[in-house]
Amino acid sequence: MFSKIKTCATSKDIWERLTQICEGSDETKENKLTVAQQKYESIKMRDAETTTEFDERFSAVVIELTSLGKEYNNRELALKVMRA
């Protein structure tokens, strides 16, 4: 990691470089959001999957979306689970 920031002159430059490395560019973030939204829209409970397993998978997708700035209210989430 140090090799990626050693040429930065200020702490601000270091912070911006680390942010870009860890979060990606705006285009990367948008692509990640699109992929996560596709996962959310297509999620279905699998055959032989327990409700606990589905809940874990569903929660992981919702957490990913939240970390990318997309949030759903409780009603939307409940409706999605019922349709899955």
Phi, psi of 49 (to 5 degrees): -90, 135
Check whether 1 has a pLDDT greater than 80. no
How would DSSP label each residue in 10-78? SHHHHHHHHHHHHH--HHHHHHHHHHHHHHHHH--PPTT--HHHHHHHHHHHHHHHHHTT----HHHHH
Check whether 24 has a pLDDT greater than 80. no
pTM for the full predicted model: 0.72
Mean pLDDT of the region 36-56: 96
Asked if residues 42 and 57 have their Cβ atoms less than 8 Å apart, the reply is: no
